[in-house]
């Protein structure tokens, strides 16, 4: 960007959207607000160096630390390699404008092929194809949460602005998405050639056939079973914009995750059997009829206390508990804190989804939310599809902790 001719006549909005789409294609979530902030940053800063352009994009488009490496690869592939192809001295200029450690990481992933051989011109005219893959290794199964084309266009839009057809597309995606719901390791084991443990009894028994020489090693691995999951969803007046989308998430957890699901406003209502209906339309209609206190007041502390005292409270033992609420409560913060302390001691993990946590400058300063936060293992935003995908990844990751 040091050459003034490169920045002349650029449509900043189109430029921002092009980079945003490239990052999304590399599985890096970028919201519509982030793309708008990047366009405003370009208009205000008018970057004249690669360093200023890099930091303007990184500070406005990247939300998670885990996405920094992928962002660097995309940025280098889109801008750095194209600039090097048209100007042999650009490598030296880029090294002068960025830190040495960062340059080393960027150039190591850029490759040595010439961009001219690939027919790639200026980065805002024709961008090269950059793919970023995430290797989870042996930490757990990989997630396949790719959105269909209809939902990719609205993945950064708040759920309160979804149309009816977009909500149906959301429900269809949740029914088909390959989500790793919570699992646990049992005390039982089974034979497996790649197992880490050696079954001594079976190995010694087989060695009797070979003169007590253990020529065949019998290996085992633990048996994995689904871990119990409990979902509590706030359907009060303050949660009205997100209630429909959360109902689809609750149905997916009930039908595919074998979860116990509850809705609460002024009282607690069990919806497991209702949402497990084969027909999605019938399930949602019955759920709306069952929750008679929908869009009323909020009693989070009382609802959690009622769940702990009911016969369904045993389902919380060793379970992953997912609470979806904005934290606005009519009960006292002390009551919610006491109920959450009991819940945290009984559950395996407590994950809180707050749709208002995705807003810029949000801080959990509300009395109820501040009282519940110390007893939450994870506190996540859940106002957009991007945030929901991140929450599903967290749920899948939590299933493999402590194995």
Please spell the DSSP secondary structure of 336-370, one letter per residue. HHHHHHHHHHHSSEEEEEEGGGGSTT----SHHHH
Helix (H, G, I), strand (E, B) or coil at 28: coil
Highest mean pLDDT among 89-98, 161-170, 315-324: 315-324
Judged against a pLDDT cut of 80, whether residue 274 lies above it is answered with: yes
Structure-block tokens of residue 128: 């090269």
Q: What is the pLDDT of residue 136?
A: 38
Could you tell me how many residues make up the chain? 403
- Name the least confident of 16-20, 71-75, 91-95, 187-191: 91-95
**Once rounded to an integer, what is the mean pLDDT over residues 249-256?**
87
Helix (H, G, I), strand (E, B) or coil at 118: coil
Contact between 4 and 127 under an 8 Å Cβ cutoff? The reply is no
Residue 382's pLDDT band, with cuts at 50, 70 and 90, is confident
Q: What is the pLDDT of residue 107?
A: 42
**Once rounded to an integer, what is the mean pLDDT over residues 265-273?**
91
Q: Please state whether the predicted TM-score (pTM) of the whole model is above 0.85.
A: no
**Once rounded to an integer, what is the mean pLDDT over residues 309-316?**
91
Q: What is the pLDDT of residues 346-364, one digit of tens each?
A: 999 999 999 888 777 777 7
Percent pLDDT > 90 in the chain is 16
**Taking all residues of the chain, what is their mean pLDDT, rounded to a whole number?**
77
Q: What is the pLDDT of residue 304?
A: 94
Q: Which residues pair with 322 in a beta bridge?
A: 231, 351
Judged against a pLDDT cut of 60, whether residue 265 lies above it is answered with: yes
Q: What is the pLDDT of residue 116?
A: 36
Residue 15's pLDDT band, with cuts at 50, 70 and 90, is confident
Q: What is the pLDDT of residue 140?
A: 43
CB-neighbour burial class of residue 151 (10 A; exposed 0-12, middle 13-18, buried 19+): middle
Q: At what angle do helices 50-61 and 32-45 cross, to 10 degrees?
A: 150
Q: What is the pLDDT of residue 302?
A: 92
Q: What is the pLDDT of residues 90-135, one digit of tens each?
A: 444 444 444 544 444 444 444 433 333 333 333 333 333 333 333 3
- Tell me which residue of 145, 171, 389 sits closest to 282, measured CA to CA: 171
Residue 399's pLDDT band, with cuts at 50, 70 and 90, is low
Residue 231's pLDDT band, with cuts at 50, 70 and 90, is very high
Contact between 221 and 195 under an 8 Å Cβ cutoff? The reply is yes
Q: What is the pLDDT of residue 34?
A: 79
**Once rounded to an integer, what is the mean pLDDT over residues 158-181?**
82
Judged against a pLDDT cut of 80, whether residue 2 lies above it is answered with: no
- Tell me which residue of 310, 169, 291 sits closest to 236, measured CA to CA: 291
- Name the least confident of 27-31, 148-152, 218-222, 369-373: 148-152
Residues whose CB is less than 8 angstroms from the CB of residue 255 and which lie 6 or more positions away in sequence, other chains included: 175, 275, 276
Q: What is the pLDDT of residue 206?
A: 87
Judged against a pLDDT cut of 90, whether residue 42 lies above it is answered with: no
Q: Which residues pair with 178 in a beta bridge?
A: 144
**Once rounded to an integer, what is the mean pLDDT over residues 288-312?**
89
């Amino acid at each position: 960007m040091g050459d003034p001719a490169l920045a002349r006549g650029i449509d900043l909005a189109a430029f921002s959207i092009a980079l945003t789409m490239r990052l999304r294609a590399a599985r890096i979530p970028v919201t519509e607000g982030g793309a708008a902030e990047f366009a405003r940053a370009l208009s205000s800063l008018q970057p004249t160096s690669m360093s200023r352009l890099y930091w303007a994009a990184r500070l406005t488009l990247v939300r998670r630390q885990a996405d920094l490496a992928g962002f660097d690869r995309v940025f280098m592939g889109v801008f750095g390699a194209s600039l090097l192809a048209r100007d042999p001295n650009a490598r030296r200029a880029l090294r002068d404008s960025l830190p040495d450690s960062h340059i080393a990481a960027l150039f190591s992933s850029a490759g040595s092929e010439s961009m001219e051989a690939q027919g790639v011109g200026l980065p805002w005219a024709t961008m090269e194809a950059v793919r970023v893959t995430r290797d989870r290794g042996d930490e757990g199964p990989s997630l396949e949460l790719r959105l269909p084309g209809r939902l990719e266009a609205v993945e950064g839009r708040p759920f309160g602005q979804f149309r009816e057809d977009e909500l149906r597309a959301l429900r269809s995606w949740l029914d088909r998405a390959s989500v790793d719901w919570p699992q646990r390791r049992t005390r039982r084991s089974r034979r497996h050639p790649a197992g880490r443990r050696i079954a001594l009894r079976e190995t010694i028994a087989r060695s009797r056939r070979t003169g007590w020489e253990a020529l065949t090693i019998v290996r085992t691995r633990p048996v994995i079973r689904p871990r119990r999951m409990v979902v509590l969803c706030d359907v009060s007046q303050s949660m009205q914009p997100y209630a429909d989308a959360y109902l689809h998430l609750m149905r997916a957890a009930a039908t595919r995750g074998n979860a116990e699901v509850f809705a609460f406003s002024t009282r607690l209502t069990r919806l497991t059997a209702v949402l497990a209906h084969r027909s999605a339309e019938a399930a949602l209609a019955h759920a709306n009829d069952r929750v008679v206190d929908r869009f009323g007041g909020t009693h989070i502390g009382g609802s959690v206390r009622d769940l702990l005292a009911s016969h369904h409270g045993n389902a919380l033992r060793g379970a992953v508990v997912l609470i979806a609420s904005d934290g606005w409560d009519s009960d006292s913060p002390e009551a919610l804190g006491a109920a959450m302390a009991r819940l945290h001691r009984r559950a395996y993990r407590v994950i809180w989804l707050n749709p208002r946590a995705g807003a810029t400058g949000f801080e959990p300063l509300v009395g109820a939310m501040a009282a519940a936060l110390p007893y939450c293992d994870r506190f996540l935003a859940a106002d957009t599809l991007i945030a929901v995908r991140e929450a599903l990844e967290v749920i899948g990751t939590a299933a493999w902790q402590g194995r």
